[in-house]
Amino acid sequence: MAVSIGVVSVIVTLSAILTYFLAKILRVFHLISKFAGPPALPIVGNAHLLKQDAREFFKQIVGWTEEFQSQGVFRFWLGPIPLIVICKADSTEVVMGSSKHIKKGYVYRFLHPWLGLGLLTSTGQKWFHRRKLLTPTFHFSILQNFMDVFNEQSVILTKKIEKFADQSEPFNIFPEIAYCVLDIICDTAMGKSINAQGESDNEYVRAVISMCDLVQERMKKPWFWPDLLYDNLESGKKHANHLRILHDMTTKIIKERLQEPPRVLDGSDEDVVAGKRRRIAFLDLLLQMHREDSSFTLEDIREEVDTFMFEGHDTTAAAASWTILMLGRHPEVQTRLHEELDEVFGDSDRPITADDLQKLQYLNCVLKETLRLCPSVPMIGRDLEEDCVIDGKVVPSGTLVVLGIYALHRDPEQFPDPEKFDPDRFLLENSTKRHPYSYVPFSAGPRNCIGQKFALMEDKIIIANLMRKYSVQAIQSFEETNPLGELIMRPRDGIYVKLSRRK
C-alpha cells in the first residue's frame, strides 16, 4: 500500500511539473503569435530561412525590418526560442529605458572566456555595482589625459598613409585606421605601447583581431555553441590559443604595474629616467580602486581592461572608417568640413585640444550622421527576465528582444529621406524635437555605453587630423563595401579611397 502511495505521489508530482512547463510553453507561444513575422514551421521556427553567408544574413534581417517597419516590431522563432525584433523609438524606450531589462542576450556568453563578467557581460547587482564603481573613470577631466595619445597616434596614421597620396590607385584605409585605434586603446587602457601601426604582425595584435572574428563567427553558428564541440574544432583551438596570449599580456602588465609606485592620477608626476610626465592609463585608475577596496580584485581588473580593449577597438575603428567613406562619397560635406577645420587650425599642424573639439560643431554633426547610417553596433540583444508590454502586447519573460539599431535609425517618421547622408540633421535646431530613443548608437538608458565620450573624442581627433592634411575620394558606395551586420558592423571588402594632399 505504501509503495502504491509513493508511486502515485511521483506520478502526481511529475504530472504537475509537466503541466506547469506545458502551460508556460503554450503561454509563450500564444503571446508571441500575436506579433506579425515571417512564416514559421513547427519545431524549427524560422531557422530554416536563415542565410549562412554573413552578408546575405544581414541583408535578410534588413529586409524583414523594412517589411515590418510600419508595425515597428516583429517576431521570429529561432527553433523553439522566441525573438522579438524592435525598430521603433517608442518600443525601444520600453526596453532600453528600463532598469529591469538589462540582461544581455544569450550569445554574449561567448565573450565570457575573454571578458569574464565585466561591465559588458555582467547583469543584476554585479552590473549595477560595477557600473557605479567605474563611472568616475570616464569623467571629462580623466578623458583629457588621453588627448596626447589620440593626437600622437592619429598623426602617425597620417604619416603612414602619406605614401598613398596623389596616387591613381585607391587603397584600403580600413585596416590602417584599425591599427591606429588598436595602438590608442592599448596605450590608454594598459599604458602599454604595442606599435600596431609599425608592427602589425605583433602576436598580441593578431590575437585581438582574430579573437574578435572568432567570437562573431561563433555567435552566428548555433552548431558552434556547445563548448564540448567547439573546444575540439579548429576554430575552438585557435580561440584557446588567442585567449592565452590575451590573458597573459593583461596579467603580465597588471603585475608589472603593481610593482611600480602608484601614479598620481592627475598625471602630474614625472618619469625621472625619461624626463617627461607619466601618462595615466585606465589600468592605473582600476589599480587605485583595488588599493582602496580589496574586494575589487585583480581578476576584476583584468576583466575590465579586457572589456575596454574589446569594446574600444572594433567599434571606434568602424565609426572612423565609415566616416571617411561618407566624406569621400559626399564632396560637398567634405568641403564644409575642410572650411571648418581651416577656420579653427589655419595651416598649423599643432595638436588638437579639447577647446578645439568644442569649436568643431560640423565635424560633430558629420560623425553623428555617420553613426546614424552606420552604427558600429547594429543590433543589441536583451533577455527578458520578466514580462513587458511592447506595442500594446505582452512579451513574456524568457524572450530574446533584439533592438534593431540599424533599422531604428532609418525610421522615416524620425528621419525623413532616411538613406540620405545629411549632417544638418544634427544641428541643434533640427534635432531637439526628435524622440530621445530614435538615435541610440551608444545604446541608451541605464545600460548605455560608459565609454561613449571617450569614443567620440577619439574618433573626432582621428578624423580631424586626417582631414586637415588630406582630401578623400571614395570609389565604393556603402552597399559596395558589403557591410556585415554582426556584433560590430564592418565592411567585408574594405573601404577603398583615393587620397590627395591638401594644398
Return the residue matching grid coordinates 525573438.
Answer: 83
Its sign, for the CA torsion 475, 480, 486, 489, is positive
As averages over each run of 10 residues, the pLDDT of the chain (503 residues) reads: 67 73 77 89 81 82 87 86 92 94 86 90 88 85 89 97 94 95 92 86 84 83 88 95 93 88 64 57 91 90 91 92 98 98 95 96 98 95 92 91 95 95 95 94 94 95 98 96 88 95 89
Assigned C-alpha cell, 64 = 524583414
The pLDDT score that the predictor gives to residue 276 is: 53
The values of phi and psi at residue 498, to 5°, are -105, 140
583584468: which residue's cell?
A: 302
Model pLDDT, residue 482: 94
**Domains of the chain as residue ranges with CATH:** 33-501 (1.10.630.10)
How high is the pLDDT of residue 352? 97
Q: What is the pLDDT of residues 131-165, one digit of tens each?
A: 888 888 888 778 888 999 999 999 999 999 999 99
Residue 153: the pLDDT is 97
Q: Assign residue 392 a region: left if phi > 0, alpha if psi is -120 to 50, beta otherwise?
A: left
Dig out the grid coordinates for 243 from the structure. 585567449
Give CB contacts under 8 A, 24+ apart, made by 386-394: 386/100, 386/101, 388/94, 388/95, 388/98, 388/100, 388/101, 389/94, 390/73, 390/84, 390/86, 390/91, 390/94, 390/95, 391/35, 391/71, 391/72, 391/73, 391/88, 391/91, 393/31, 393/34, 393/35, 394/31
Check the CA dihedral 242-245-248-251 and report its sign.
negative
pLDDT (0 to 100) of residue 273: 42
Distance between CA 375 and CA 316 in Å, rounded? 10
Distance CA 319, CA 467 (A): 15
pLDDT digits (tens, 9 = 90+) for 156-206: 999 999 999 999 999 999 999 999 999 999 999 988 888 889 887 788 888
Kindly report the pTM of this predicted structure: 0.90
Bridge-based pairing of strands 276-277 and 379-383 is: unpaired
